[in-house]
């Protein structure tokens, strides 16, 4: 028996010893900046790069990568103001149709080739040729554009058919592509534009870059590694490089931070992890974002079923029965801001702070429904046009977790005013299909979200008739609103545009195709050994708006 017991101990001890020694050996060959003396930031995220090809990619982190490896004419600062980047200054003609940008002198791509205004003009003109085909994903950036030219290496002229209000915001989103790499794909029908993987070549050379970093290694759905671009024309980053590691599960990502396998976790850090991370000594940052959670009520004028939802009084009663404070406290653990309009407060002066959401008031909600003639049925559900006021709420996976708890709160409160709602779970693709089915005539309600760009044009566009079947998730269509949208998109003067955008927000708030529930905070955490993170209201510190974080971040 003694022999057997020792054998058992050996069987247990031996593998653990092997694992421990292998771990030590492995640790010896990893870690931040090992072997080079430089600092390497390890970033964890649950949102993988879906493609490195800018005509295919949709992921936030794909666009964050383009921010760091490709030049943009301008970028945002921490106050969400447009500031110079590859373009050092610019001017616009009095009619708003001609924009002139003056770009950096003596800039180079990472392969040593000159980077000039001609590269920008080439990118714009080539994309325009294919904007109704393989480059369709960029078409919105080139709206009303006639073409671009570069009379000299540091001057770029872009001409538009009409004045366009958000040219600078569009240019912030548009990457300048290296002609020496991309020219072979802008040929024929452009089919190769989308099949080019745009990853570091197998020769071990990094991808050609015009930003502060160059992509040196990429494995789909696993990681992307970046080193400083030696030919970068701007301020030298303090780190030698950084890596993005992709996690399928937020729990695993949080655990990796705790174990020291990553230094920083960005977007999609779960609110439930905040207390534990703080307790473990990590720096947790939360900041209001410009994204929003919406409770959608079908306001399509051609709706054929449950037409009582077209009655503004019903939508007003539903808002009175929405307890935003309880939702923020219970579902978000306090890590969200109360919702009001379709432009979030974090979007600065574009948000109309005068619009206040209706207070939670069940008595008022009941009073509104009573006065509108919706009598209470025998089972506590009101009757409208002979049918009970019971509705399905389409619910995509994006909303799971916090959205589930939000739904439960709303369901309980709405029941108290005689309205029954049922959660109808489906995936993203099926969600849009269910909402837009029969030209938006049949769905009743949905819960979803928006993570819009900084410039309000996109968020405002979502509610236009032109977006029915495209980006519209409410069925809302109103020609008066469309006219306001068209006008704001041509207003070059910021103050005038802001005034109209505030009117549009009020218009939509009154119409209530959305009840904006809340604006979730950006939550991220990092090791206290690092500093220099600049949190933005979109994506957090490592984002597609500016290069501030990865130019400044460094070890303490």
Minimum CB distance to other proteins, residue 102 (Å): 26
- Smaller CB separation from other proteins, 43 or 107: 43
In terms of CB distance, is 50 or 404 closer to other proteins? 50
Least distance in Å: CB of 412 to other proteins?
Answer: 29
CA atoms of 90 and 77, how far apart (whole Å): 17
Least spacing, CB of residue 512 vs other proteins, in Å: 23
Q: How far is the CB of 384 from other proteins (least distance, A)?
A: 27
CB 292 within 8 A of CB 449: yes
CB 360, min distance to other proteins, A: 32
Distance CA 58, CA 54 (A): 8
Q: How far is the CB of 183 from other proteins (least distance, A)?
A: 19
Q: Which is nearer to other proteins, 99 or 247 (CB)?
A: 247
Largest CA distance in the chain: 96
Nearer to other proteins, 11 or 378 (CB): 11
Token pair of 366 as six digits = 């009941």
Token readout for 339 is 């919702």
Residue 315 DSSP SS3: helix
Nearest CA-CA partner of 365 in 394, 389, 341: 389
The 10 Å CB-count burial string (b at 16+, else e) for 427-444 is eeeebbebbbeeebebbb
CB nearer other proteins, residue 83 or residue 466? 466
Contacts of residue 141, Cβ cutoff 8 Å, sequence gap at least 6: 170, 173, 174
Q: How far from chain centre, in Å, is Cα 499? A: 25
Interatomic CA distance for residues 26 and 30, integer angstroms: 7
Residue of 425, 419, 429, 427 whose CA lies nearest to 393:
425
Nearest-5° angle of CA 184, CA 185, CA 190?
140
Residue 398 class from Cβ within 10 Å (0-12 exposed, 13-18 middle, 19+ buried)? Answer: middle
Q: 37: exposed, middle or buried (C-beta count within 10 Å: 0-12, 13-18, 19+)?
A: exposed
Q: Residue 195 CB, nearest distance to other proteins (Å)? A: 5
> What's the closest the beta carbon of residue 429 comes to other proteins, in angstroms?
3
Closest CB to other proteins among residues 136, 334:
136
* Least distance CB 533 / other proteins (angstroms): 20
Question: 39 or 308: whose CB is closer to other proteins?
Answer: 39
What is the distance between the alpha carbons of residues 391 and 298, in angstroms, rounded to a whole number?
11
Using the minimum distance from each CB to other proteins, give the nearer residue, 358 or 501.
Answer: 501
Shorter beta-carbon distance to other proteins: residue 58 or 494: 58
Residues 318, 411: Cα–Cα separation, whole Å: 11
Q: How far is the CB of 483 from other proteins (least distance, A)?
A: 19
Nearer to other proteins, 119 or 457 (CB): 457
Q: Which residues contact 107 (CB under 8 A, 6 or more apart)?
A: 71, 86, 114, 115, 116, 210, 233
Using CB atoms within 10 Å of the CB of residue 142, give its burial: 0 to 12 exposed, 13 to 18 middle, 19+ buried: buried
Using alpha carbons, select from 404, 154, 142, 446 the residue that is nearest to residue 298.
446
Give the shortest CB-161-to-other proteins separation in angstroms. Answer: 16
**Closer residue to other proteins in complex, CB, 53/231:** 53
> Which of 57, 553, 524 lies closest to 277 in space, CA to CA?
524
């Amino acid at each position: 028996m003694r022999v057997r017991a020792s054998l058992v101990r050996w069987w247990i001890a031996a593998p653990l010893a092997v694992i421990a020694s292998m771990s030590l050996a492995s640790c010896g060959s990893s870690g931040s900046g090992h072997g080079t003396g430089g600092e390497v930031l390890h970033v964890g995220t649950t949102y993988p790069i879906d493609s490195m090809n800018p005509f295919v990619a949709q992921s936030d982190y794909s666009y964050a990568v383009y921010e760091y490896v490709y030049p943009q004419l301008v970028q945002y600062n921490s106050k969400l103001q447009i500031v110079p980047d590859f373009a050092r200054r610019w001017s616009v003609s009095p009619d708003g149709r001609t924009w002139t940008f003056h770009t950096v002198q003596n800039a180079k791509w990472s392969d040593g080739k000159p980077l000039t205004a001609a590269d920008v003009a080439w990118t714009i003109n080539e994309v325009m040729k294919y904007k109704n085909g393989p480059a369709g994903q960029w078409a919105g950036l080139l709206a009303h554009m006639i073409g671009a030219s570069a009379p000299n290496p540091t001057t770029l002229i872009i001409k538009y058919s009409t004045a366009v209000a958000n040219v600078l915001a569009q240019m912030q989103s548009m990457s300048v592509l290296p002609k020496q790499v991309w020219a072979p794909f802008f040929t024929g029908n452009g089919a190769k534009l989308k099949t080019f993987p745009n990853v570091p070549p197998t020769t071990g050379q990094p991808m050609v870059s015009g930003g502060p970093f160059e992509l040196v290694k990429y494995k789909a759905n696993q990681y992307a590694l970046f080193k400083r671009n030696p030919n970068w024309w701007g301020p030298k980053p303090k780190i030698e490089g950084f890596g993005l590691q992709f996690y399928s599960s937020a729990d695993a990502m949080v655990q990796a931070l705790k174990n020291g396998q990553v230094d920083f976790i960005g977007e999609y850090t779960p609110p439930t992890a905040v207390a534990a991370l703080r307790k473990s000594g990590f720096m947790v940052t939360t900041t209001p974002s410009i994204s929003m959670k919406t409770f959608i009520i079908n306001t399509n004028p051609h709706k054929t079923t449950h037409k009582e939802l077209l009655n503004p009084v019903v939508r007003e009663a539903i808002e009175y029965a929405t307890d935003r404070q309880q939702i923020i406290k219970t579902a978000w653990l306090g890590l969200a801001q109360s919702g009001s309009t379709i432009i979030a407060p974090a979007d600065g002066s574009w948000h109309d702070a005068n619009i206040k959401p209706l207070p939670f008031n069940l008595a008022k909600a009941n009073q509104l429904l009573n006065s509108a003639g919706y009598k209470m049925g025998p089972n506590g559900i009101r009757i409208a046009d002979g049918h009970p006021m019971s509705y399905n709420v389409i619910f995509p996976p994006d909303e799971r977790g916090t959205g589930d708890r939000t739904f439960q709160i709303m369901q309980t409160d709405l029941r108290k005013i005689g309205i029954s709602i049922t959660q109808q779970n489906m995936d993203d693709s099926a969600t849009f299909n269910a909402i837009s089915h029969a030209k938006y005539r049949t769905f009743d309600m949905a819960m979803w979200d928006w993570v819009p760009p900084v410039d309000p044009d996109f968020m405002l566009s979502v509610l236009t008739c032109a977006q029915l079947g495209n980006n519209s998730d409410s069925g809302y269509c109103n020609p008066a609103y469309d006219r306001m949208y068209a006008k704001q998109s041509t207003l070059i003067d910021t103050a005038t545009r802001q005034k109209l955008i505030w009117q549009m927000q009020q218009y939509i708030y009154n119409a209530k195709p959305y009840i904006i529930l809340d604006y979730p905070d950006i939550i991220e955490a990092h090791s206290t050994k690092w500093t220099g993170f600049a949190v933005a209201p979109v994506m957090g510190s490592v984002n597609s708006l500016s290069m501030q974080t990865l130019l400044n971040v460094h070890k303490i």
